Structure formats: structure tokens, C-alpha cells
């Protein structure tokens, strides 16, 4: 089963590039930028990665991102993630980045996007990996700040596919960003949003009815409202589920209670993703393996999840066809 998971080509639809910042690279960049970080050893860093909730994690995540200053830093960060994609057979990825995490510290939008773009071109060239960018607004900040970010993004509009909404969910409902999402859609960005990770089902309703999202990030808590489940199925909205993240942030007590299989059984188009792999202990294959073992998922289930990842990506119809052919090549190999 693990070989099957590893061999399958996959798409990742929920990944924060700042969350792929491995401690080793963080030390290296902190040193070259002469920034103090509150850890002396990699072991100390790993010990700090014990979270009791989303906010606990976010505090450490923003602190880590604080060492990123130069275009080269963003390039190095993204190249390290693409290398993991290559190792995990992720052939298409939709990468979220949080401009405000950097612009709030005085780093130019341009520095961030140029570093990421340089890595994207190189990853395509070196490993054939396709990737799209999702610019995520930080929901603990104001809608005005999101509008400022939207404005800064416009010269780079052709490089960005989608807008998202992340950070502290409780107390920051999707409706707070109604206007900026409308304006973002007018600029051609596809809307997605984190909803129902920690927040209540009302936030998922708002994400779909008010922000009119094309996909829901996390969305696990939709199972608490049968009408919502029916609506998600009816509107054919995919969920980008992140098993190891859910476990590490205590949204799931033990993996055997993870809602993934229930979501699939309800007819929801769920996908598996790594969210912030450097913080939650694993990239794509590790997420698949963890949830497969805990929930005893069949090969059919794995195949459904992988097909969902391509079908509900923002790739073109033509690209999707090619991706699915590659998936079936591997399936046939394993069946022969
Ligand atoms: N949830 C909300 N905000 C985030 C996350 C997440 O899982 N990762 C990075 N920012
Ligand atoms: Zn996320």
C-alpha cells in the first residue's frame, strides 16, 4: 500500500509555503541574515513544535517566517518544497503564500513573488512540476489591509491564480472579507478560503454563500450540519483536508477518529494535503500513509483521493486529462 501511495502521481491543493520552512533551512537563513531566533539547536526547534490549537502554531509559524528577507530566501524556501514534491511524486501543486506576513515587516511584495516565481520556473525545468500560486489574506488583519495587498498584487496578476483566506479563524468570519473577495474575483482571481478547521459550520456557509469559494480549505466541521453536507455535495465543492495538521493542531484527537472516510462516504470530494509539513511532521506521502493506516483506506479510496486532487485542481481540462492518464499508468502497473 505504501508503495502504491508513493508511486501515484499526486496534486497538492493546500500548502502554505511558509509552513514548509524546515528548521535546518531556517537556521541557515537566520544566520546569513544575522537574525536571532529563540532556538540553539534543531532539537530545541522540534520541541517547540507542540501545539494545542491553531493560534499556538501560528505564533511560531509567523516567528519562523520573520527570518525571510531577500528574494533569495523566498527562492530557497520554495526550492526546498519543490524538492519534496519531486520526492513525493507531487506533479501539480497550488501553493499558498501570505504576502502580509512579509509586507507587514517591511518586505516588498515584489521580493516575495519574484523569489517564488524564480523557483517555480526552475522546478518546472528541473522536475517538470507544474504549480499555481494562491495569494492568501490574513484574516486576523483588517479587510483594508487585504485590499492593500490586492492592490500590490495587481502588477503580478498573471502569476497568481487564486486568493485564499488563512490565519486565526475564530472571531474572524469569512463575511469580514466580503468586499475584498468580490474585488479579487473581479480581477480574475479564483476564491478559496479556510473554513471549518476550528471555526463553526456558519463560517463554512459564509465561505460558500458570501465569498462564493470554488473550494473549501479544511472544512472538516461540515459534518456537524447535514444540510451543509448536502449543499457541498450539490455544489460539487471539494475540501482540501490535511490529516497530520488536524492531528497536530488537535482538531482530531487520534487519527483513527479522523473524519476523512466519513466525508468520502457522504459523497464529498475530499483531497489529502500537507498544509504546513515542516511543522506537522510530514509531506504528502506521509499524510496519505497516516490516514490510510488509521482508517484502513482501500486502494480504491486512495485512488479516489488522488483523482479528486487533479479533478478539483485549477489546472486546465487538457492538463487534467494528461495527469489522469499518468495516474492510470501506475494503477495498471500495480494491477498487472
Ligand atoms: N490554518 C489557518 N491558517 C494557516 C494555516 C492553517 O492550517 N496554516 C498556515 N496558516
Ligand atoms: Zn492551511
CATH number at residue 175: 3.20.20.140
Q: Which DSSP string do the residues of 147-183 spell out, in sequence order?
A: HHHHHHHGGGGGG--EEEEES--TT--GGGGHHHHHH
pLDDT band at 121 (very low <50, low <70, confident <90, very high): very high
Tell me the helices (H) and strands (E) count for the chain, helix number first.
17, 8
pLDDT band at 336 (very low <50, low <70, confident <90, very high): confident
Ramachandran sector of residue 66 (left: φ over 0; alpha: ψ -120 to 50; beta: rest): alpha
pLDDT band at 22 (very low <50, low <70, confident <90, very high): very high
Contact 220, 194 (CB under 8 A): no
pTM for the predicted model, two decimal places? 0.98
Q: How many CB atoms lie within 10 A of CB 336?
A: 5
> Probe ligand 1: pick from 60, 197, 248, max atoms within 8 Å of CB?
197
Ligand 1 residue neighbourhood (C-beta within 6 Å): 16, 19, 54, 61, 166-167, 194, 197, 245, 275-276
pLDDT band at 46 (very low <50, low <70, confident <90, very high): confident
Name the residue with the closest Cα to ligand 1, atom 4. Answer: 167
58-69 residue pLDDT tens: 999 999 999 999
Marked catalytic residue, from 22, 197, 198, 206: 197
> Probe ligand 1: pick from 59, 95, 139, 167, max atoms within 8 Å of CB?
167
76 annotated ligand binder: no
d(CA 297, CA 234): 25
Q: Angle between the 284-295 and 299-311 helix axes, to the nearest 10 degrees?
A: 140
Range of the structural domain that residue 295 is part of: 2-335
Q: Among residues 133, 64, 58, which one has the least CA distance to residue 97? A: 133
CA distances from 292 to 151, 285, 303 (A): 42, 10, 12
Q: Among residues 157, 172, 244, 233, which one has the least CA distance to residue 207? A: 172
Question: Total domain count for the chain?
Answer: 1
Side by side, which strands form the sheet with 10-16?
10-16, 90-97, 130-138, 162-166, 190-195, 215-218, 238-241, 269-272
Report the mean per-residue pLDDT for the chain.
97
d(CA 310, CA 323): 7
Residues 6+ apart with CB under 8 A from 25: 76, 77, 80
Tell me, in angstroms, the distance from the centre of ligand 2 to residue 280's CA. Answer: 11
Q: Three-class SS of residue 40?
A: coil
| Whether pLDDT at 245 is above 90 | yes
Q: Catalytic residue at 148?
A: no
Contact 273, 241 (CB under 8 A): yes
Residues 6+ apart with CB under 8 A from 53: 198, 249, 250
Residues near ion ligand 2 (CB < 5 Å) are 275
Amino acid at each position: 500500500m505504501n508503495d502504491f501511495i508513493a508511486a501515484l502521481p499526486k496534486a497538492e491543493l493546500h500548502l502554505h509555503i511558509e509552513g514548509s520552512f524546515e528548521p535546518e533551512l531556517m537556521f541557515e537563513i537566520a544566520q546569513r541574515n544575522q537574525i536571532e531566533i529563540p532556538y540553539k539547536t534543531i532539537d530545541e526547534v522540534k520541541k517547540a513544535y507542540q501545539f494545542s490549537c491553531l493560534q499556538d502554531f501560528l505564533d511560531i509559524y509567523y516567528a519562523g517566517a520573520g527570518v525571510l528577507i531577500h528574494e533569495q530566501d523566498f527562492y530557497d524556501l520554495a526550492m526546498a518544497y519543490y524538492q519534496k514534491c519531486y520526492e513525493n511524486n507531487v506533479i501539480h501543486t497550488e501553493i499558498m503564500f501570505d504576502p502580509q506576513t512579509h509586507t507587514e515587516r517591511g518586505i516588498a511584495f515584489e521580493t516575495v513573488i519574484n523569489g517564488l516565481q524564480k523557483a517555480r520556473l526552475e522546478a518546472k525545468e528541473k522536475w517538470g512540476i507544474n504549480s499555481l500560486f494562491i495569494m492568501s489574506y490574513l484574516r486576523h488583519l483588517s479587510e483594508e489591509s487585504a485590499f492593500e495587498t490586492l492592490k500590490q498584487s495587481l502588477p503580478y496578476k498573471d502569476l497568481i491564480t487564486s486568493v485564499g483566506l488563512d490565519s486565526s479563524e475564530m472571531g474572524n468570519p469569512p463575511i469580514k472579507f466580503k468586499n475584498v473577495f468580490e474585488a479579487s474575483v473581479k480581477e480574475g482571481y479564483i476564491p478559496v478560503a479556510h473554513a471549518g478547521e476550528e471555526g463553526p459550520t456558519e463560517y463554512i456557509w459564509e465561505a460558500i454563500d458570501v465569498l462564493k469559494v470554488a473550494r473549501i480549505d479544511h472544512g472538516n466541521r461540515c459534518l456537524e450540519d447535514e444540510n451543509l453536507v448536502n449543499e457541498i455535495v450539490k455544489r460539487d465543492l471539494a475540501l482540501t483536508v490535511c490529516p497530520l495538521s488536524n492531528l497536530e493542531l488537535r482538531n482530531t484527537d487520534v487519527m483513527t477518529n479522523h473524519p476523512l472516510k466519513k466525508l468520502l462516504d457522504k459523497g464529498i470530494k475530499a483531497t489529502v494535503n500537507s498544509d504546513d509539513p515542516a511543522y506537522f511532521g510530514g509531506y504528502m506521502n506521509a499524510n496519505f500513509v497516516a490516514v490510510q493506516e488509521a482508517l484502513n483506506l482501500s486502494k480504491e479510496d486512495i485512488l479516489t483521493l488522488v483523482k479528486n486532487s487533479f479533478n478539483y485542481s485549477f489546472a486546465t481540462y487538457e492538463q487534467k486529462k494528461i495527469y489522469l492518464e499518468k495516474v492510470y499508468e501506475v494503477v495498471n502497473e500495480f494491477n498487472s
